[in-house]
Amino acid sequence: MNKFNSPISIKKPLMLLLSTLFLYCTSVKETSIKNDNLEMAQSFLDNIITNPEVAKNLLHKDFTFAWMGIIEQGGKIWNRDNLFNEYFKDIIPKILPNGIILKTVDAISDDNGVAIIQEGDAEGKNGEYDNKYVWIFKMKDGLIHSVREYNSDILVATQLYDYKLISLETE
């Protein structure tokens, strides 16, 4: 047997080929999960007000939502039922009577979650309300497990609620 037909000389290239194939398949699967997570998160945001049943079907049974502000509804934990039956049905229409247009400007995702950055265009109950948002999604069992919403508390307080800004300077 010559050196080209040796079983040892075939093992190294074969192992290299199999390792490369494994890494490629793993990478393709991870990319697919990342894309699926991003599509699911974007679909949730696109449907939360106009098609609540579509959005609700994307949620894990143990889903939680919280707006991370420090006023009014800030920090309150909502579940998959009361988020749609109360928060988006009663609270949001009172403070955003004409609705809101959200435009995604950036996003990042991995196997476990998604972050989406959006700019809003709306008229709040107290005037123009063009906030910027960061939505943090965590995934579990192929569904959205939690969402945390971050934006400007000051803009929410003044344009959606009846807070007034006052100067703390003394004369």
Helix, strand, coil share (%) of the chain residues, nearest 5:
40, 30, 30
The answer to whether residues 154 and 70 touch, using CB atoms and an 8 Å cutoff, is: no
The answer to whether residues 37 and 147 touch, using CB atoms and an 8 Å cutoff, is: no
**Torsion angle of C-alpha atoms 155, 157, 162, 165, degrees rounded to 10:** -80
Task: Give the tens place of pLDDT for each residue, 102-154.
Answer: 999 999 999 999 999 999 999 988 889 999 999 999 999 999 999 999 998 88
Domains of the chain listed by start with CATH number: 7-159 (3.10.450.50)
Task: Give the tens place of pLDDT for each residue, 57-66.
Answer: 999 999 999 9
Rounded-to-integer distance, Cα 106 and Cα 15, Å: 40
Pairing label, strands 100-109, 127-129: unpaired
Indicate the pTM of the whole model.
Answer: 0.77
- Write down the pLDDT at residue 26: 52
- Cβ–Cβ contacts within 10 Å for residue 27, how many? 10
The DSSP code for 62 is E
Q: What's at 119, amino acid-wise? A: E
- Write down the pLDDT at residue 163: 87
Rounded-to-integer distance, Cα 138 and Cα 120, Å: 22
Task: Give the tens place of pLDDT for each residue, 81-105.
Answer: 999 999 999 988 988 999 899 999 9
Closest CA to 57 of 150, 137, 142, 133: 142
